[in-house]
Structure 1
């Protein structure tokens, strides 16, 4: 099993704080600095506006071929749920430079909590799976009504990757378990900030959480259970606020290596100290 570990996004200005990876780094060099530490990144920007070919070409170049990209699909597919043929064409064609460079990971469709398991929504998800056929598509379903074995079985039939989440224990959302619907696993660690999950005014507030070593050991144990079932596992830390993810990723790497799960770590070179 090849384990890819990274963060939800890389353009975080608070990582320019003293001692963090962007300390003294110009903004247009953030991705180069990021790629010296992490072999995967989850791109958030396409959710708000689908980048063009040149933007993806720039990402491939600036990453130096060291980082793989999971690409979040635009909100028209998950929140508005009214994509046009043009939307599909752009979403599937624009990342071509990443594909050609061998840097493309799965697409990510992050549905909101309001997307319940209804007949209409099940039909919509089926249609989305058919339109993304031939591409790896990971699906995050935040409402607990989807957290059922029969849902995962159906997703497996259509080649959809179930996104395993770690949410705060606030109820109403899928349990923090690692499930596989294909031979590719996808884990998103959102942190456990219960106080701000529903009431936070921004994603940064909701993800303001630093995991401790015991919590990282807990996930390493769950990952160890599925090593024989997966060819790849993508792990993304969404708790990027204040650089929390930067501290947690080494913890998880250590916990996995201690259990005999090899995790490759990019060489940051002399000028790329993490802390």
Structure 2
């Protein structure tokens, strides 16, 4: 199993603080710097506006070929849920530079908690699956009504990746477990800040949480248990606030290596790049 580990986004201004990876780095060099530390990233900007071909070409160039990109679907697909044919065309075609460079990871469909398991929503998810056929699609379903073996079985039949989450223990959401629905796994670690999950005014507040070593060991055990069932696993830390993810990723790498799950880092490759 090849493990890719990175963060939800790469433009966090918190990381410019003294001692963190963007200290003294200009914003247009963030991605280049990020690529020296991590081999995967979840692209958040596409949720708000679908980047064009030239923007993706720039990502390929600045990352030097090292980073795998998981591209988040625009909100019109997951929150508005009224995508046009043009939206589908742009979402599918714009990341072509990533595919050509061998840097494309799964698409991520991040549905909100309000997206319950109803007949209408099941029908919509089937439509989305059909339109993204032939592409890896990871789906995060935040309401507990989806957290059932039969749902994951159906996703596996249609080639959809179940996003395994780690949420704060507030109830009503899927349990923190690694589930496998195909050859590729996808894990999102949101932190466990129960005080700000519902009341937080921003994603930064909701994800303001630093995992301790025991919690990283816990996830390493769960990952090791499915290592024989997957060819690839993507792990994305969402707790980028205050640089928490920058501290937790080395912990997880160490814990995985200790359990016989090898984790590659940029330093393991000649020149720190895949290409």
Once the two structures are TM-superposed, the CA of residue 245 in structure 1 deviates from its matched residue by 0.2
Matched, 1:121 2:121: yes
Partner of 1:93: 93
Partner of 2:51: 51
Partner of 1:263: 263
2: distance between equivalents of 1:129 and 1:153?
Answer: 14
Deviation track 1:68-99 (CA, whole Å, cap 9, x = no partner) reads 10000000000000000000000000000000
SS in 2 for 1:62: helix
Deviation track 1:103-132 (CA, whole Å, cap 9, x = no partner) reads 000000000000000000000000100000
1: distance between equivalents of 2:60 and 2:268?
Answer: 18
Partner of 1:181: 181
2: distance between equivalents of 1:84 and 1:55?
Answer: 22
Deviation track 1:144-193 (CA, whole Å, cap 9, x = no partner) reads 00000000000001100000000000000000000011110000000000
Matched, 1:110 2:110: yes
Which runs of structure 2 are paired with 1:248-259 in the superposition (5 Å)? 248-259=248-259
1: distance between equivalents of 2:70 and 2:206?
Answer: 22
Matched, 1:11 2:16: no
SS in 2 for 1:267: helix
Please report the TM-score for the alignment, with normalisation by the length of structure 1: 0.97
2: distance between equivalents of 1:182 and 1:66?
Answer: 24
1: distance between equivalents of 2:213 and 2:110?
Answer: 27
Matched, 1:74 2:90: no
Deviation track 1:37-74 (CA, whole Å, cap 9, x = no partner) reads 00000000000000000000000000000111000000
Q: Give the superposed CA RMSD.
A: 1.2
2: distance between equivalents of 1:169 and 1:244?
Answer: 19
SS in 1 for 2:266: coil
Once the two structures are TM-superposed, the CA of residue 29 in structure 1 deviates from its matched residue by 0.2
2: distance between equivalents of 1:28 and 1:101?
Answer: 21
Give the conservation status (yes or no) of the 8 Å contact 1:37–1:268: no
2: distance between equivalents of 1:184 and 1:20?
Answer: 31
Partner of 2:152: 152
Give the conservation status (yes or no) of the 8 Å contact 1:164–1:186: yes
Partner of 2:32: 32
Q: 1:23 to 1:268 in 2, by over 3 A?
A: farther
SS in 2 for 1:134: coil
2: distance between equivalents of 1:134 and 1:83?
Answer: 19
Please report the TM-score for the alignment, with normalisation by the length of structure 2: 0.97
Give the conservation status (yes or no) of the 8 Å contact 1:115–1:142: yes
Bigger CA drift: 1-10 or 260-269? 260-269
Q: Which runs of 5+ in 2 are unaligned?
A: none
Once the two structures are TM-superposed, the CA of residue 268 in structure 1 deviates from its matched residue by 9.7
Partner of 2:133: 133
2: distance between equivalents of 1:19 and 1:107?
Answer: 32
1: distance between equivalents of 2:159 and 2:86?
Answer: 23
Give the conservation status (yes or no) of the 8 Å contact 1:107–1:136: yes
Give the conservation status (yes or no) of the 8 Å contact 1:36–1:268: no
Matched, 1:165 2:155: no
